[in-house]
Structure 1
Amino acid sequence: MYGLAMHPYLLPLLAFAATAAIFTITPGLDTAMTLRTATTAGWKAGLAAVLGICLGLAVWGLGAAFGLTALLAASETAFTAVKWAGALYLGWMGVKLLLHPRSSLAHEQEEAAAEQPTNRPEAGVAFRRGLLSNLLNPKVGVFYMTFMPQFIPPHVNVQEFSLLLTAIQAVLSFAWLGLLVALTIPLGRFLSSPVVVRRMDRLTGGVFLLFSLKLALARRV
């Protein structure tokens, strides 16, 4: 798409990929839903849930891509208001995760269990649940709207670059959650370990704080 002109943008792409990878492998509702679907309904239903989850991410990213165009072209006052709202939100989340990391995935597992009855769902049902779990989660939208602008270089087509970042996020999510489906039992036990959950939460909290500071210092181009 960008040809040789894409090389100056390799660093922000790699930075986004690294950050997105951290959030992707951090245990959460998507992880719990994928593991539970695969263990209770088989790998086909688990993979269908993963496809639904990734489609939900793509829809949010699509909305953010077109919304970011208006955001970056808005007034200085609007930009400043959104910037500080995002910085404060990320800072609050970062401090919360650092000071009060989870010790288990109990809450996410309860939510996933509430969405999935004990019967073995068909692939279509699992797909719909995975899709809705993301479409109805405003935190996904917050992720795109607060993180994407920090990785978009000046003088690029904002919509196209945002869609590229969205594609990276979707591919990473599909690869990771697909791996969970393939290795459900051993990885499920590992990711449910209190030590792993606490460390991943603290790692995520640290990243939140770093980008909160970066966002607070950002200036409108």
Structure 2
Amino acid sequence: MEQFTMFLMMSVALILTPGADTALVTKSTIVHGKRGGVATAAGTAAGIIIHTCAAAMGLSVLLAQSAVLYETVKWAGAVYLIYLGISSLLSKGSSSGKAAQPSVEDADVPVGGSSVIKCFSQGVLTNVLNPKVALFFLTFLPQFVRADSASFTQYLTMGLIYAFLLIVWLLIFVYFIHAFRSWLQKPSVHKTIERVTGAVLIGFGLKVALEQRP
């Protein structure tokens, strides 16, 4: 029980640390409303589960041992984050003199499926294309795996718990951002948010690109 409590405490501390996921969820919520933010949060949690399964099956070990594979994933993730950041900086909404129009979601009409899928995909890819996340799970989860039980089941259980805690926090964050969405969509504020979000995503992309393989 003490080991599980430590796992929960460390997980919560890590989840509350702002990162690229937080920036992406913020952007999705402002642009696409609650459904967009929820879709991005769900994608982020899905990415965590993918990394968990990879760690449990030993694929993360392969990533850690192969310099070529590590560099390939690293640069793919870096380019993707920088692409999202540049897209945010060049967003028409960031340079328009008009206030951002309320999304169809605000009119109690479901957001288009393509927007939801796009938000979900961005959440997944932001996590999956970050080799540091894979290596983190490779080093973090084993600390709490008991040798007297099936490791795959333990990996999966802890990964699901971590993903659950993550999505709960991100959903709270989504509803918090959405509560101020009208103010955040004012032209000057919206423009600033787009620029800050873009800069943050580019910064994380550069950080991933410059990180050395452990």
TM-score (norm 1): 0.58
Instruction: Specify which of 69, 85, 94 is matched with residue 113 of structure 1.
Output: 85
Is residue 11 of structure 1 aligned with residue 2 of structure 2?
Answer: yes
**Matched letter for residue 177 of structure 1:** L
Cα deviations by residue, 1:10-50 (Å, 9 ceiling, x for unpaired): 22222111101111110010111111110122111111011
Q: Give secondary structure in 2 for the equivalent of 1:27.
A: coil
Cα deviations by residue, 1:72-124 (Å, 9 ceiling, x for unpaired): xxxxxxxxx99xxxxxxxxxxxxxxxxxxxxxxxxxx9775335555787111
Instruction: Specify which of 162, 173, 177 is matched with residue 170 of structure 2.
Output: 177
Contact map agreement 1:56 1:135 (CA 8 A) in 2: yes
Instruction: Specify which of 30, 54, 57 is matched with residue 63 of structure 1.
Output: 54
Residues 186 and 22 (structure 1 numbering): CA distance in 2 closer, same or farther, change over 3 Å? farther
TM-score (norm 2): 0.59
User: What is the deviation of 1:134?
Assistant: 0.7
Q: Give the structure 1 partner of residue 44 of structure 2.
A: 53
Contact map agreement 1:12 1:152 (CA 8 A) in 2: no
Gaps of 5+ in 1: 1-9, 72-80, 83-108, 193-221
User: What is the deviation of 1:66?
Assistant: 1.7
CA–CA separation in structure 2 for the residues paired with 1:52 and 1:157:
27
In the TM superposition, what are the counterparts of 1:42-191 in structure 2 within 5 Å?
42-67=33-58, 112-114=84-86, 116=88, 117-118=91-92, 122-184=115-177
Contact map agreement 1:49 1:130 (CA 8 A) in 2: yes
Contact map agreement 1:36 1:112 (CA 8 A) in 2: no
Contact map agreement 2:29 2:178 (CA 8 A) in 1: no
Q: Give the structure 1 partner of residue 16 of structure 2.
A: 25
CA–CA separation in structure 1 for the residues paired with 2:29 and 2:10:
27
Could you tell me the percent identity over the aligned residues? Answer: 27
CA–CA separation in structure 1 for the residues paired with 2:180 and 2:9:
21
Residues 178 and 115 (structure 1 numbering): CA distance in 2 closer, same or farther, change over 3 Å? farther
